[in-house]
C-alpha cells in the first residue's frame, strides 16, 4: 500500500527480533502475520490522506500513552499481533509495555498492554490492533469455556477447519491459547474420511483401505454413524474414529466396544451445556466448529491516558 502521511510503514526487516521470535515460537509464520497486518491496515488507510480525523484534531507533535484493557473476563490472545500493528504504524517511535502473555486469564478492567508514542499513530493503529486481539481473544475465551467444562475428564476439545479464510493459523493459535487442541490444519495433513467419501468409495472399510494403501504414512480418521461401522473399522485396525451425531448412550457404548483400541472423537451439534455429559462417556476428543466459525468477539478497548 502507499504510505499515508504520518505512518512509518516499518519494513519487515526492521521489526524487533524479539517480536519475530515470539511469533515463531507461538507456531506462527512471522512474515505471514506481518503481511496480514499490512493488508488489514490497507483497509483503513487507502490512498494518501491517512487518518483524516486524527490529522484534523491532533497536533503532529502530540505524544501520549494509552492502555488496552479487558472489559470482560476471559483469555487473551493476539496481543503480539497487536504489538506488531503498532510497530508497523509507528516504528521506533512506539513503546509497548506491560503486555500480558497470550493465554493469560484476565478479569474485567485488567490492563493487557500499554502503548506510548505519537497520538496520531496510536489512534491510527487502534482499531486494527483491537480487531486482531479482540477476535483472537474471543476464540481463546470460547475454547477456555470448553476446557473448563471438560476438566477432570479425559476429553480434550478440538478445533476444525471451519475457520475464516486467511485466518486459519491465527485462529488455531488462539485455540491453543485457550487450552484446546488443533485438529488437522489442511487437507494434506491427515486423511479425514467423511460421509461423502464413504458413499463414493462404497463403504467405510473400502474408503479406509484405499487411504491406507495410497498414503500409508498419513494419519487417518474415519467418520461413523453407527456401531456396526465402528466394529468394522476396529477390526481393520483403524486407530482414530469420529462418532457423528450420536446420542450420549450410543457414545458410551462405542467407548465400551472400542476398549482403548482407537481414539474416539465426538462431533456434530454438540453444545457447551452438553459437554460434560458427553465427556463422561469416556470419549477422547470433542470437536467444536463454533470455536472459530461462530466466535463472539472479546471486548477489549483502548483509552488514552490523561497527561499529568
Q: Where are the domains of the chain?
A: 12-136+296-304, 147-293
Output the pLDDT for position 50: 82
Q: Which CATH superfamily is domain 147-293 in?
A: Aldolase class I (3.20.20.70)
Q: What is the mean pLDDT of residues 255-278?
A: 95
Indicate whether 280 pLDDT > 80. yes
Indicate whether 244 pLDDT > 80. yes
Output the pLDDT for position 306: 81
Q: What is the mean pLDDT of residues 158-171?
A: 96
Pairwise CA distance, residues 50 & 9, whole Å: 12
Catalytic residue chosen out of the listed positions 159, 223, 265, 284: 223
Could you confirm whether 162 is annotated as catalytic? yes
Q: Is 221 helix (H, G, I), strand (E, B) or coil?
A: strand
- How sure is the predictor about 169, in pLDDT bands with cuts at 50, 70 and 90? very high
The closest alpha carbon to 143, from 166, 168, 174, 165, belongs to: 174
- How sure is the predictor about 269, in pLDDT bands with cuts at 50, 70 and 90? confident
Catalytic residue chosen out of the listed positions 55, 194, 274, 276: 194
Pairwise CA distance, residues 230 & 120, whole Å: 61
Output the pLDDT for position 308: 55
Output the pLDDT for position 215: 97
Q: What is the mean pLDDT of residues 243-253?
A: 96
Indicate whether 193 pLDDT > 80. yes
The CATH number that domain 12-136+296-304 falls under is: 3.90.1170.20
H or E stretch including 63? strand 63-70
Could you confirm whether 244 is annotated as catalytic? yes
Indicate whether 231 pLDDT > 90. yes
Pairwise CA distance, residues 303 & 54, whole Å: 15
| Cell (9 digits) for 168 | 486459519
Pairwise CA distance, residues 297 & 134, whole Å: 6
Beta-carbon contacts of residue 116 (< 8 Å; ≥ 6 apart) = 63, 64, 65, 66, 94, 95, 97
- How sure is the predictor about 2, in pLDDT bands with cuts at 50, 70 and 90? low
Catalytic residue chosen out of the listed positions 127, 161, 168, 261: 127
Indicate whether 133 pLDDT > 80. yes
- How sure is the predictor about 205, in pLDDT bands with cuts at 50, 70 and 90? very high
Catalytic residue chosen out of the listed positions 55, 114, 161, 162: 162
Indicate whether 197 pLDDT > 90. yes
Catalytic residue chosen out of the listed positions 44, 93, 110, 244: 244
Q: Is 18 helix (H, G, I), strand (E, B) or coil?
A: helix
Could you confirm whether 110 is annotated as catalytic? no
Could you confirm whether 21 is annotated as catalytic? no
Could you confirm whether 261 is annotated as catalytic? no
Same fold: 12-136+296-304 with 147-293: no
| Cell (9 digits) for 58 | 491532533
Q: Widest CA span of the chain, in angstroms?
A: 74
* pTM, to two decimals: 0.94
The closest alpha carbon to 177, from 77, 276, 92, belongs to: 77
Mean pLDDT of the chain: 95
Percent of the chain with pLDDT over 90: 92
Indicate whether 271 pLDDT > 90. yes
Residue 120: exposure state from Cβ atoms within 10 A (0-12, 13-18, ≥19): buried
Beta-carbon contacts of residue 10 (< 8 Å; ≥ 6 apart) = 87, 88, 89, 90, 91
Beta-carbon contacts of residue 199 (< 8 Å; ≥ 6 apart) = none
- 82 close to 129: Cβ distance less than 8 angstroms: yes
Amino acid at each position: 500500500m502507499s504510505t499515508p502521511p504520518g505512518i512509518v510503514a516499518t519494513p519487515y526487516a526492521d521489526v524487533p527480533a524479539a517480536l519475530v521470535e515470539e511469533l515463531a515460537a507461538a507456531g506462527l509464520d512471522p512474515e505471514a502475520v506481518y503481511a496480514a497486518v499490512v493488508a488489514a491496515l490497507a483497509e483503513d488507510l487507502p490512498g494518501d490522506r491517512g487518518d483524516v480525523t486524527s490529522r484534523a484534531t491532533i497536533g503532529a507533535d502530540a505524544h501520549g500513552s494509552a492502555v488496552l484493557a479487558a472489559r470482560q473476563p476471559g483469555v487473551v490472545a493476539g496481543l503480539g499481533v497487536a504489538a506488531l500493528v503498532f510497530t508497523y504504524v509507528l516504528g521506533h517511535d512506539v513503546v509497548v509495555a506491560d503486555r500480558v502473555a497470550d493465554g493469560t486469564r484476565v478479569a474485567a478492567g485488567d490492563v493487557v498492554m500499554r502503548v506510548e508514542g505519537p497520538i496520531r499513530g496510536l489512534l491510527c493503529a487502534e482499531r486494527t490492533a483491537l480487531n486482531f486481539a479482540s477476535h483472537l481473544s474471543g476464540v481463546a475465551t470460547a475454547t477456555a469455556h470448553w476446557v473448563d467444562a471438560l476438566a477432570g475428564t479425559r476429553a480434550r476439545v478440538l478445533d476444525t477447519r471451519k475457520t475464516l479464510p486467511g485466518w486459519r493459523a491465527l485462529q488455531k493459535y488462539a485455540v491453543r491459547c485457550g487450552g484446546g487442541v488443533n485438529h488437522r490444519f489442511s487437507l494434506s495433513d491427515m486423511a479425514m474420511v467423511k460421509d461423502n467419501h464413504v458413499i463414493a468409495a462404497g463403504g467405510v472399510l473400502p474408503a479406509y483401505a484405499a487411504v491406507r494403501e495410497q498414503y500409508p504414512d498419513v494419519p487417518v480418521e474415519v467418520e461413523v454413524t453407527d456401531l456396526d461401522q465402528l466394529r468394522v473399522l476396529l477390526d481393520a485396525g483403524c486407530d482414530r474414529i469420529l462418532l457423528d451425531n450420536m446420542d450420549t448412550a450410543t457414545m458410551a457404548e462405542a467407548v465400551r466396544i472400542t476398549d482403548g483400541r482407537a481414539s474416539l472423537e465426538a462431533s456434530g451439534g454438540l453444545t457447551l451445556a452438553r459437554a460434560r455429559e458427553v465427556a463422561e462417556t469416556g470419549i477422547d476428543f470433542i470437536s467444536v466448529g463454533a470455536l472459530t466459525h461462530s466466535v463472539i468477539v472479546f471486548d477489549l478497548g483502548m483509552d488514552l491516558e490523561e497527561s499529568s
